Chains A and B, each alone.
Chain A
């Protein structure tokens, strides 16, 4: 240590390093005692240490945003030549794409196409009527080829056979695609409890952040609203004052 009796106007690198190490709690016990002893006697260094601590306290206010990316590495099973090819893509995008394929596939799997006296009806969904119609129109898989449901008036609609064929072709195609997309876009990560726990933690944290952000937004909005209200109030009063002055003038001039 340097001179303890007089302020350290120009701290040596050794003293500066010791103060830094003390500041960040990265010094040995003996060095810590030396620094503590020194700052009790050296006003300059005591202030130095205190001000650096204060800077650190201020720096702590700067938090980064939560990372907005969310990419994961996925393997591509179909590219067997290079048994896995690294690919980084936004995982949420994959999840949305996979969900979309499944939803569309599920919806069209129960498609109902009807042509009758009311015209051509094209319906998708999981309604019992949709399923019955789909079962009635399903010519493959069961062995029994059920004849297409006749129209309400008993007439076989024109184009019916073509539409049924198209429907069946769509079913087969979508069944294949759904299986494919399940393999590619839904990697088998669900059975890993550690990853799941980490993801759950991140989601919970994200929800808390959103709540805080909303609260912040409301508070800021209230403050801006209050400022605007006060500004409007001032303007109204000023204009009222002008009007009052003008009225006084009118009263005075008319009284003459």
Chain B
């Protein structure tokens, strides 16, 4: 029988580890995706995700249901991401723009998408990840929350504790930067109807002439 997050939280607070594990199964992908897109590296995302769930588990007693469990979990994960980014910066580790090193699998519709579309989408995804890494952290966070997690402007404002107008400004500025960069690289088009990134042509043509 399906249980809501709140029901599972109540059970987990009473010592039911299985209930908490159901919450982990339910939310590990979004939390991991959030951390991955904000931090840009798989191993960092994994560490932050695990830490987020660990903190949630330890803090269950303090969670009084004042917010949705998912919002609470997102806030924990996002705060960890920001701490991580700050530490990384303070430690003098400058992440190169191309720091998104993971070979992500860009699969939107695993059943219907052809391999050719998949390849095009994957290459485009890599290009997007590199461009996203060049954005200021706060712009990237807002874009990630809005674009990939579908949060409302109000939810984002609450989550990152800033005015609604700031959220919209960051989103607009970030999208504008991406638009300019995508335009310069000739990548700006949606898929798969208009694939814009083609595979490099064979380097030799003259031999066939």
**Binary per-residue interface labels of chain A (218-244) against chain B in the complex, 1 for a CB within 8 Å, 0 otherwise:** 011001001100110110010000000
Whole-angstrom CA separation of A215 from B119 in the bound complex: 10
Is the CB–CB distance between B104 and A68 below 8 Å? no
Size bracket, chain B contacts: 35 or more
Contact partner of B58 (CB less than 8 A), chosen from A68, A86, A212, is: A86
Contact partner of B168 (CB less than 8 A), chosen from A20, A198, A231, A234, is: A20
Is the CB–CB distance between A220 and B119 below 8 Å? yes
**Binary per-residue interface labels of chain A (55-88) against chain B in the complex, 1 for a CB within 8 Å, 0 otherwise:** 1111111111111110111110000000110101
> What residues on B are CB-neighbors of A209 within 8 Å?
105, 107, 110
CB proximity to B under 8 Å, residues A19-44: 20-21, 24, 26
Whether, in the assembled complex, B187 has its beta carbon less than 8 Å from a beta carbon of chain A, the answer is yes
Whole-angstrom CA separation of A192 from B202 in the bound complex: 54
Whole-angstrom CA separation of A26 from B146 in the bound complex: 11
Whole-angstrom CA separation of A256 from B102 in the bound complex: 66
Is the CB–CB distance between A24 and B2 below 8 Å? no
Residue of A nearest to B12 (CB): A73
CB proximity of B154 to chain A, nearest CB, Å: 9
Residue of B nearest to A232 (CB): B204
Is the CB–CB distance between B124 and A71 below 8 Å? no
Contact partner of A213 (CB less than 8 A), chosen from B15, B21, B105, B191, is: B105
**Binary per-residue interface labels of chain B (72-88) against chain A in the complex, 1 for a CB within 8 Å, 0 otherwise:** 00000000000000000
> What residues on A are CB-neighbors of B54 within 8 Å?
86, 88
Is the CB–CB distance between A55 and B175 below 8 Å? yes
Is the CB–CB distance between A55 and B188 below 8 Å? yes
Is the CB–CB distance between B202 and A16 below 8 Å? no
Q: A54-B188, A216-B118 are in contact. Are A195 and B21 (CB under 8 A)?
A: yes
Whether, in the assembled complex, A4 has its beta carbon less than 8 Å from a beta carbon of chain B, the answer is no
Is the CB–CB distance between B50 and A71 below 8 Å? yes
Whole-angstrom CA separation of A13 from B148 in the bound complex: 24
Q: Per DSSP, are chain B's interface residues mostly helix, strand or loop, or mixed? A: helix
Whether, in the assembled complex, A208 has its beta carbon less than 8 Å from a beta carbon of chain B, the answer is yes
Whole-angstrom CA separation of A205 from B107 in the bound complex: 11
**Binary per-residue interface labels of chain A (194-206) against chain B in the complex, 1 for a CB within 8 Å, 0 otherwise:** 1100110010010
Whole-angstrom CA separation of A234 from B202 in the bound complex: 11
Whole-angstrom CA separation of A83 from B16 in the bound complex: 12
> What residues on A are CB-neighbors of B203 within 8 Å?
227, 230-231
Residue of B nearest to A208 (CB): B110
Whether, in the assembled complex, A9 has its beta carbon less than 8 Å from a beta carbon of chain B, the answer is no
> What residues on B are CB-neighbors of A194 within 8 Å?
1-3, 22
Is the CB–CB distance between A57 and B104 below 8 Å? no
Whole-angstrom CA separation of A151 from B132 in the bound complex: 76
> What residues on B are CB-neighbors of A199 within 8 Å?
25
> What residues on A are CB-neighbors of B45 within 8 Å?
64, 67
Whole-angstrom CA separation of A192 from B18 in the bound complex: 9
CB proximity to A under 8 Å, residues B93-140: 102-108, 110-111, 115-116, 118-119, 121-122, 124-125, 128-129, 132
| Chain B residues near A (Cβ < 8 Å) | 1-3, 15, 17-18, 20-22, 24-26, 28-29, 32-33, 36-37, 42, 45-46, 49-50, 53-54, 57-58, 102-108, 110-111, 115-116, 118-119, 121-122, 124-125, 128-129, 132, 143, 146-148, 152-153, 165, 168-169, 171-172, 175, 178-179, 182, 187-191, 199-200, 202-204, 206-207
8 more A-B residue pairs beyond the given contacts A195-B22, A230-B202, with a C-beta to C-beta distance below 8 A: A13-B165, A20-B171, A62-B128, A72-B24, A86-B57, A199-B25, A208-B111, A216-B115
Sampled A-B contacts (12; CB under 8 Å): A13-B169, A54-B179, A55-B178, A60-B108, A62-B37, A63-B121, A64-B104, A65-B36, A67-B33, A84-B15, A88-B53, A219-B116
| Chain A residues near B (Cβ < 8 Å) | 13, 16-17, 20-21, 24, 26, 51-69, 71-75, 83-84, 86, 88, 187-189, 192-195, 198-199, 202, 205, 208-209, 212-213, 215-216, 219-220, 223, 226-227, 230-231, 233-234, 237
